[in-house]
Amino acid sequence: MRKTAAAGLAVGIIAAFGLAMPASAATASNAQLSVLHGIPDTPVDVWVNGERTLDDFAPGTLAGPLPLPAGDYVVVITAPDAADTSAPVLGPATVSLAAGGNYTAVAYLNEAGAPALKAFANDTSKTAAGQGRLTVRHVAAAPAVDILAGGSPVIEGLTNPNESTLNLPASTVSAAVALAGTTAPVLGPTDVQIQDGVLTIVYAWGSAEDGNLALAVQTVTGLHSTPGGVPSGTAGYLAERDNITTAGILGAGALVITLAVGSVIAVRARKATQR
Protein backbone atom coordinates (compact mmCIF):
# COMPACT_ATOMS: atom_id res chain seq x y z
CA MET A 1 0.00 0.00 0.00
CA ARG A 2 2.78 2.44 0.89
CA LYS A 3 4.62 1.62 -2.34
CA THR A 4 1.48 2.29 -4.37
CA ALA A 5 0.82 5.56 -2.55
CA ALA A 6 4.39 6.76 -3.00
CA ALA A 7 4.33 5.96 -6.70
CA GLY A 8 1.02 7.76 -7.14
CA LEU A 9 2.28 10.85 -5.35
CA ALA A 10 5.43 10.98 -7.42
CA VAL A 11 3.48 10.70 -10.65
CA GLY A 12 1.09 13.38 -9.43
CA ILE A 13 3.87 15.83 -8.68
CA ILE A 14 5.53 15.15 -12.01
CA ALA A 15 2.20 16.01 -13.61
CA ALA A 16 2.03 19.08 -11.38
CA PHE A 17 4.98 20.58 -13.14
CA GLY A 18 3.72 19.56 -16.56
CA LEU A 19 6.59 17.20 -17.21
CA ALA A 20 7.26 13.61 -18.11
CA MET A 21 9.90 11.57 -16.32
CA PRO A 22 12.96 11.53 -18.61
CA ALA A 23 14.72 8.28 -19.36
CA SER A 24 17.73 9.48 -17.38
CA ALA A 25 16.81 11.57 -14.34
CA ALA A 26 20.40 12.42 -13.36
CA THR A 27 21.32 14.96 -16.04
CA ALA A 28 23.39 18.09 -15.51
CA SER A 29 20.59 20.36 -16.78
CA ASN A 30 18.00 19.02 -14.33
CA ALA A 31 17.38 19.82 -10.70
CA GLN A 32 16.04 17.27 -8.22
CA LEU A 33 12.96 18.33 -6.24
CA SER A 34 11.19 16.66 -3.33
CA VAL A 35 8.04 18.03 -1.70
CA LEU A 36 6.94 17.83 1.94
CA HIS A 37 3.46 18.82 3.15
CA GLY A 38 4.04 19.72 6.78
CA ILE A 39 0.85 21.60 7.71
CA PRO A 40 -1.25 19.39 10.00
CA ASP A 41 -4.90 18.58 9.38
CA THR A 42 -4.95 20.60 6.15
CA PRO A 43 -5.38 18.76 2.85
CA VAL A 44 -4.64 21.20 0.05
CA ASP A 45 -4.69 21.68 -3.69
CA VAL A 46 -1.43 22.68 -5.37
CA TRP A 47 -1.38 25.01 -8.36
CA VAL A 48 1.71 25.42 -10.53
CA ASN A 49 2.00 28.18 -13.12
CA GLY A 50 -1.74 28.84 -12.84
CA GLU A 51 -2.94 25.24 -13.20
CA ARG A 52 -4.39 22.99 -10.50
CA THR A 53 -2.01 20.08 -10.51
CA LEU A 54 -2.36 18.25 -7.17
CA ASP A 55 -5.76 17.62 -5.61
CA ASP A 56 -6.21 16.88 -1.88
CA PHE A 57 -2.48 16.67 -1.14
CA ALA A 58 -2.30 15.07 2.32
CA PRO A 59 -0.33 16.31 5.37
CA GLY A 60 2.73 14.26 6.25
CA THR A 61 3.48 13.36 2.65
CA LEU A 62 7.08 13.49 1.47
CA ALA A 63 7.46 12.63 -2.22
CA GLY A 64 10.29 12.68 -4.71
CA PRO A 65 12.92 13.33 -5.78
CA LEU A 66 11.72 14.38 -9.21
CA PRO A 67 13.90 15.59 -12.10
CA LEU A 68 12.88 19.05 -13.31
CA PRO A 69 14.47 21.43 -15.80
CA ALA A 70 16.23 24.31 -14.06
CA GLY A 71 14.10 27.45 -13.83
CA ASP A 72 11.43 29.25 -11.85
CA TYR A 73 8.07 27.74 -10.90
CA VAL A 74 5.17 29.76 -9.44
CA VAL A 75 3.41 27.73 -6.76
CA VAL A 76 0.10 28.52 -5.06
CA ILE A 77 -1.54 26.36 -2.39
CA THR A 78 -5.29 26.60 -1.83
CA ALA A 79 -8.01 24.85 0.11
CA PRO A 80 -9.29 21.67 -1.56
CA ASP A 81 -11.60 22.22 -4.52
CA ALA A 82 -10.97 25.98 -4.70
CA ALA A 83 -12.35 27.49 -7.89
CA ASP A 84 -9.13 29.43 -8.50
CA THR A 85 -6.09 30.84 -6.70
CA SER A 86 -7.74 34.06 -5.52
CA ALA A 87 -7.86 32.90 -1.87
CA PRO A 88 -4.57 31.07 -1.35
CA VAL A 89 -3.52 29.27 1.82
CA LEU A 90 0.05 29.96 0.69
CA GLY A 91 1.59 31.86 -2.17
CA PRO A 92 2.00 32.75 -4.84
CA ALA A 93 5.65 31.86 -4.31
CA THR A 94 8.41 31.39 -6.83
CA VAL A 95 10.57 28.30 -6.43
CA SER A 96 13.87 28.69 -8.26
CA LEU A 97 15.74 25.52 -9.18
CA ALA A 98 19.36 25.59 -10.36
CA ALA A 99 20.77 23.00 -12.74
CA GLY A 100 22.31 20.12 -10.81
CA GLY A 101 20.74 21.24 -7.52
CA ASN A 102 18.85 19.05 -5.07
CA TYR A 103 15.94 20.72 -3.24
CA THR A 104 13.05 20.03 -0.91
CA ALA A 105 10.08 22.40 -0.96
CA VAL A 106 8.27 22.41 2.40
CA ALA A 107 4.85 23.76 3.29
CA TYR A 108 4.96 24.17 7.07
CA LEU A 109 3.90 26.19 10.11
CA ASN A 110 6.17 28.98 11.29
CA GLU A 111 6.93 29.37 15.00
CA ALA A 112 3.76 31.44 15.47
CA GLY A 113 1.66 28.75 13.79
CA ALA A 114 1.03 30.51 10.46
CA PRO A 115 1.39 28.61 7.16
CA ALA A 116 4.65 29.21 5.27
CA LEU A 117 6.56 27.84 2.29
CA LYS A 118 10.31 27.36 1.92
CA ALA A 119 12.61 25.59 -0.51
CA PHE A 120 15.67 24.04 1.14
CA ALA A 121 18.83 23.27 -0.83
CA ASN A 122 20.05 19.81 0.13
CA ASP A 123 23.81 19.49 0.67
CA THR A 124 24.88 16.77 -1.74
CA SER A 125 28.58 17.60 -1.66
CA LYS A 126 30.84 14.60 -1.23
CA THR A 127 31.39 13.24 2.23
CA ALA A 128 34.79 12.13 3.43
CA ALA A 129 35.49 8.42 3.23
CA GLY A 130 33.70 6.63 6.04
CA GLN A 131 31.46 9.59 6.91
CA GLY A 132 27.76 10.42 6.59
CA ARG A 133 25.81 13.68 6.86
CA LEU A 134 22.93 14.51 9.21
CA THR A 135 20.72 17.56 8.67
CA VAL A 136 18.00 18.56 11.14
CA ARG A 137 15.29 20.98 9.93
CA HIS A 138 12.96 22.70 12.35
CA VAL A 139 9.66 23.38 10.53
CA ALA A 140 7.32 22.96 13.50
CA ALA A 141 5.32 25.62 15.35
CA ALA A 142 7.57 25.33 18.40
CA PRO A 143 10.44 27.19 20.13
CA ALA A 144 14.18 26.57 19.84
CA VAL A 145 16.03 23.38 20.81
CA ASP A 146 19.55 22.08 21.26
CA ILE A 147 20.64 18.67 19.97
CA LEU A 148 22.95 16.84 22.36
CA ALA A 149 25.51 14.12 21.64
CA GLY A 150 27.07 12.41 24.61
CA GLY A 151 25.44 14.99 26.86
CA SER A 152 27.02 18.00 25.13
CA PRO A 153 25.29 20.34 22.65
CA VAL A 154 26.34 19.80 19.03
CA ILE A 155 23.50 21.84 17.51
CA GLU A 156 22.46 24.88 19.54
CA GLY A 157 19.44 27.18 19.37
CA LEU A 158 17.84 25.62 16.31
CA THR A 159 14.80 27.70 15.43
CA ASN A 160 12.02 27.54 12.86
CA PRO A 161 12.54 27.50 9.84
CA ASN A 162 16.25 26.81 10.06
CA GLU A 163 18.50 23.80 9.67
CA SER A 164 21.82 22.55 10.93
CA THR A 165 24.13 19.97 9.42
CA LEU A 166 26.79 17.69 10.87
CA ASN A 167 29.32 15.55 9.01
CA LEU A 168 30.00 12.53 11.21
CA PRO A 169 31.88 9.24 11.03
CA ALA A 170 29.63 6.35 10.12
CA SER A 171 28.65 5.03 13.51
CA THR A 172 25.90 4.96 16.08
CA VAL A 173 25.57 8.26 17.96
CA SER A 174 23.82 8.71 21.30
CA ALA A 175 21.63 11.78 20.73
CA ALA A 176 19.15 13.71 22.84
CA VAL A 177 16.99 16.83 22.57
CA ALA A 178 16.98 19.60 25.18
CA LEU A 179 15.40 23.01 25.46
CA ALA A 180 17.74 25.63 24.03
CA GLY A 181 20.39 26.63 26.54
CA THR A 182 19.98 23.55 28.72
CA THR A 183 21.61 20.15 28.85
CA ALA A 184 18.84 18.24 30.61
CA PRO A 185 17.32 15.98 27.93
CA VAL A 186 13.59 16.29 27.38
CA LEU A 187 13.81 13.43 24.88
CA GLY A 188 16.39 10.65 24.68
CA PRO A 189 19.19 9.94 24.71
CA THR A 190 18.65 7.53 21.87
CA ASP A 191 20.88 5.84 19.31
CA VAL A 192 21.04 7.34 15.80
CA GLN A 193 22.73 5.54 12.92
CA ILE A 194 24.96 7.63 10.66
CA GLN A 195 25.37 5.91 7.29
CA ASP A 196 28.45 6.09 5.10
CA GLY A 197 27.91 8.37 2.10
CA VAL A 198 24.29 9.16 2.96
CA LEU A 199 22.61 12.48 3.75
CA THR A 200 19.83 11.89 6.27
CA ILE A 201 17.43 14.82 6.70
CA VAL A 202 15.07 14.87 9.67
CA TYR A 203 12.12 17.28 9.59
CA ALA A 204 10.14 18.17 12.69
CA TRP A 205 6.72 19.49 11.63
CA GLY A 206 3.33 20.18 13.16
CA SER A 207 2.38 22.20 16.23
CA ALA A 208 3.54 21.76 19.81
CA GLU A 209 0.53 23.68 21.12
CA ASP A 210 -1.92 21.49 19.22
CA GLY A 211 -0.12 18.29 20.20
CA ASN A 212 0.31 17.02 16.64
CA LEU A 213 4.06 17.14 16.17
CA ALA A 214 5.45 14.58 13.75
CA LEU A 215 8.64 13.62 11.95
CA ALA A 216 9.47 13.11 8.29
CA VAL A 217 12.74 11.65 7.03
CA GLN A 218 14.43 12.05 3.67
CA THR A 219 17.64 10.34 2.59
CA VAL A 220 19.94 11.23 -0.30
CA THR A 221 22.47 8.58 -1.23
CA GLY A 222 25.59 8.56 -3.37
CA LEU A 223 27.64 11.13 -1.44
CA HIS A 224 30.72 8.91 -1.24
CA SER A 225 33.99 10.59 -2.06
CA THR A 226 35.10 7.65 -4.21
CA PRO A 227 35.21 8.31 -7.98
CA GLY A 228 32.15 7.41 -9.99
CA GLY A 229 29.62 8.24 -7.27
CA VAL A 230 26.59 10.04 -8.70
CA PRO A 231 24.35 11.97 -6.28
CA SER A 232 20.85 10.57 -6.22
CA GLY A 233 17.91 10.88 -3.90
CA THR A 234 15.47 8.69 -2.15
CA ALA A 235 12.60 9.99 -0.10
CA GLY A 236 10.18 8.47 2.29
CA TYR A 237 8.14 9.54 5.23
CA LEU A 238 7.28 8.54 8.72
CA ALA A 239 4.55 10.66 10.25
CA GLU A 240 3.83 8.94 13.53
CA ARG A 241 2.38 11.61 15.78
CA ASP A 242 3.55 11.97 19.33
CA ASN A 243 1.24 13.14 22.13
CA ILE A 244 3.91 15.21 23.83
CA THR A 245 4.02 18.59 25.53
CA THR A 246 5.76 21.76 24.42
CA ALA A 247 8.84 20.49 26.24
CA GLY A 248 9.11 17.92 23.49
CA ILE A 249 9.33 20.76 21.00
CA LEU A 250 11.28 19.12 18.21
CA GLY A 251 9.00 16.11 18.14
CA ALA A 252 12.08 13.92 18.13
CA GLY A 253 10.76 11.33 20.52
CA ALA A 254 10.42 9.05 17.54
CA LEU A 255 13.88 9.92 16.25
CA VAL A 256 15.39 6.51 16.85
CA ILE A 257 12.45 4.78 15.17
CA THR A 258 12.47 7.20 12.27
CA LEU A 259 16.16 6.95 11.55
CA ALA A 260 16.20 3.19 12.03
CA VAL A 261 13.53 2.59 9.40
CA GLY A 262 13.64 5.82 7.41
CA SER A 263 16.20 4.56 4.93
CA VAL A 264 14.19 1.39 4.32
CA ILE A 265 10.98 3.35 3.68
CA ALA A 266 12.93 5.77 1.49
CA VAL A 267 14.41 3.03 -0.68
CA ARG A 268 11.01 1.41 -1.13
CA ALA A 269 9.48 4.76 -2.09
CA ARG A 270 12.27 5.34 -4.60
CA LYS A 271 11.75 1.93 -6.18
CA ALA A 272 8.01 2.50 -6.37
CA THR A 273 8.55 5.87 -8.04
CA GLN A 274 10.78 4.31 -10.67
CA ARG A 275 8.24 1.64 -11.58
Of 64-78, 146-160, 175-189, 223-237, the least confident: 223-237
Question: Average pLDDT of the chain?
Answer: 73
Residue 102 has pLDDT above 60, yes or no: yes
3-state secondary structure the chain: CHHHHHHHHHHHHHHHCCCCCCCCCCCCCEEEEEEEECCCCCCEEEEECCEEEEEEECCCCEEEEEEEECEEEEEEEECCCCCCCCCCCEEEEEEEECCCCEEEEEEEECCCCCEEEEEEECCCCCCCCCEEEEEEEEEEECCCEEEEECCEEEEEEECCCCEEEEEEECEEEEEEEEECCCCCCCEEEEEEEECCCCEEEEEEEEECCCCCCEEEEEEEECCCCCCCCCCEEEECCCCCCCCCCHHHCCCHHHHHHHHHHHHHHHHHHHHHHHC
Give the global pTM. 0.70
Helix axis angle, 2-16 to 255-274, nearest 10°: 70
Per-residue exposure over 65-99, b if at least 16 CB sit within 10 Å of its own CB, e if not:
bbbbeeeebebbbbeeebeebeebbbbebebebee
Which among 126, 20, 138 has a CA at the least distance from the CA of 69?
Answer: 20
Per-residue pLDDT, averaged over 236-252, amounts to: 30
258-275 pLDDT, tens digit per residue, is 333 333 333 344 444 444
Note the pLDDT of residue 130. Answer: 94
Peptide bond into 189 cis (omega under 30): yes
Note the pLDDT of residue 198. Answer: 94
How far is it, in rounded angstroms, from Cα 224 to Cα 238? 25
* CB distance 215 to 253 below 8 Å: no
240/94: higher pLDDT: 94
Residue 199 has pLDDT above 70, yes or no: yes
Residue 53 has pLDDT above 90, yes or no: no
Per-residue pLDDT, averaged over 177-185, amounts to: 80
Measured at the alpha carbon of residue 14, what is the angle toward residues 10 and 17, in degrees to the nearest 5?
Answer: 145
* CB distance 156 to 146 below 8 Å: yes
- Proportion of the chain above pLDDT 90, given as a percent: 34
